[in-house]
Structure 1
Amino acid sequence: MEWDRENTIAQFVRDRRKKANLTQVELSDFTGVGLRFVRELEQGKPNVMTDKVNQVLLFFGHTLTPTPISDETRRNLGK
């Protein structure tokens, strides 16, 4: 499967990271995921899970996309 640098999630993460003035290393540290994962995510590397989810969602005419959450929901994450 080809990498797609222009996919919605790759663009979203890359744009948001840059707007937050973070390097990929800093994003990796803040989120607790590996630097390699961040790089591959921003480059649109196919991921087994998301590819399979998208395969199913495409059947119904949908795809996985980032969705904003409220500040309250964000504050309650991990509680």
Structure 2
Amino acid sequence: MSKTIKAKRKENGLTQEELSLKSGLGLRLIREIEQGKTSMRMDKVNQLLQLFGMELIPAPKTTYNE
């Protein structure tokens, strides 16, 4: 997810600061997300993803049997 958000930000020509302002989220959170922070509130992530027409949804964990 962190790579996707960073890529979308760059595709849209935004700095982290601009993304922070547009999303209403703190700059620190934007940086943590892009650096791969492993735990965060889903509503905050969706607030950010909404700018790019995306949404994070719960899904069953996929397991692979050998």
Structures share a fold, TM > 0.5? yes
Change (3 A) 1:26 1:48: closer
Q: Following superposition of structure 1 onto structure 2, how do residues 1-79 of structure 1 map, counting pairs within 5 Å?
A: 9-49=1-41, 57-58=60-61, 61=62
Looking at structure 2, the residues matched to 30 and 38 of structure 1 have their Cα atoms a distance apart, in angstroms, of 11
Q: Aligned-pair RMSD on alpha carbons?
A: 2.5
**Structure 1 stretches (4+) deviating beyond 3 angstroms?**
none
Structure number with the bigger relative contact order (C-alpha 8 A, sep ≥ 6) is 1
- Show structure 2 runs of 5+ residues with no match: 43-57
Q: Work out which of the two has the higher radius of gyration on C-alpha atoms and give 1 or 2.
A: 1
> How many residue pairs end up in the alignment?
49
Give me the TM-score of the superposition, normalised by structure 2: 0.62
Structure 1 residue 49: Cα displacement: 4.6
